[in-house]
Structure 1
Amino acid sequence: MGASRSYTEQTIKQLFGLAAGRCAFPTCRRKIIFPATDLSSTTITGDIAHIVAFADAGPRSDGALSTKQKNDYDNLMLLCAACHRLVDGQPEEYPNDVLFAMKQNHLDWVDENLESQMRDIRFPELEVVCSRIIDTELASSTGFQTLPPAQKMVSNKLGPKTAKKITLGLMQAPLVADYMQSMVTHVDSEFPERLISGFRSEYDKHFEKGIRGDGLFALLELFASGGTADFDRQAAGLAVLAHLFQVCDIFETTVT
């Protein structure tokens, strides 16, 4: 039996989250993930594409790479079905270096759109994000210790790209704080604790699997946005995550 095109949960979530659930081809960038509704399940209309071919006889193949390396996040990109067929059908036009650059350019484009949308989020976007994160059961003590934000970055091995994301999200920290206070005053006095509990549960789930650093932050960012390809929801989710990163024990170093 040959090797399998199998991906870890972390790889899949990181791939879809960082690419904003969109095709990476620069003249396309259409949504390829549509979240579940009350009537339908989540639908994916695109593909996980290998940059260096998975099969030794495939386009852009490299027999020196192991199966694990071929299936890792660094060698994968999201493409709609049509663009995937194009790049594999014309590998001379789309060699490895072109596709690696295309993937990076797409990630930069996502960040630019997040930054643009961040300025426009308001309470309605925060409400949509928080309503799906909030935990009805308050979590017990997590064993976290409180650290200053800069020390959190170092202790959790968060790199420059994550630092940039946190800085971007903190543009709307006052808005998130106002929203949370409004919820405490008018709706639920335990709202902040329930919101934190929802994030803690997600953090613990991935932490227990050995996921750390930028990968873990990316998974929490995807969780906050609900896996949507809509930039307003992604911006709102990042704003909530960045605010909680700054003010409480989300994404801290465990006490040893």
Structure 2
Amino acid sequence: MAISDKTRKILWGRSGNRCAICRQRLVVDETTADAESVVGDECHIHSGTQNGPRYDAAVDPQYVDSLDNLLLLCRIHHKMVDDQFETYAADLLRSIKANHEQWVEDKFDEKPDYPSIKVTRLKHEIPERLIPVESGAELFNLVSGCHGSYQDHNDDLNDEEVEIVGGFLQSLKDWVDIAGELEPIEKVRAKKSLGDELEDLRSKGFLVFAAKERQRLEGGKDEPSDFFVLHVTVTRENDPNIIRS
């Protein structure tokens, strides 16, 4: 499936020919020697490709090229959000899209201007070191309330280890996305599931370290708010870089 002409027209119309992040014009005027130049891209919030940014197997393939899954960006910010997809998670991009389209509407209605949305890291909130995670309950409590994650692992994994470590990190990303919506019984099950995965990793010689970072979400029409991100590293238990207290 591809983006339809109608969807493209609606997206460009609601976006006002502006990048949803920097709000620069996305069609450069013609010159005396050349025609106009289009410098904007239709960016997918959830990629339809398995290894693409913000891919989610639960997303219906029919939804991938729909209007709700697209936002308009300049080519610089398109590359930025796709390269930094852990920071620019799906929820954040949806918020950027909604605020930008509201900004376009307000421009026509002569309403007050809203600043661009941005996430700011606070130096004193950046974890100095990650702590070892011993239980599923401990890990779930770190995951709860997070909006995204920074993930790391050993670079020299063999094929079997790729499946083990990659499967755990994918599972953890899924819990980050839905932890805040779970009912009490589902939270208990989640803690048990995470505990089982941690035990499986330990049996294969891996340890998990994690910490939560509070960042600041600013801009748009709302007041600044907290934006939490999970740091998680999966590493071999004999890794010489582990700081043992």
Q: TM-score, normalised by structure 1?
A: 0.40
| TM-score, normalising length: structure 2 | 0.42
More strand by share: 2
Larger Rg: 1 or 2?
2
Bigger proportion of residues as helix: 1
Structure with more contact order per residue of length (Cα contacts < 8 Å, sep ≥ 6): 1
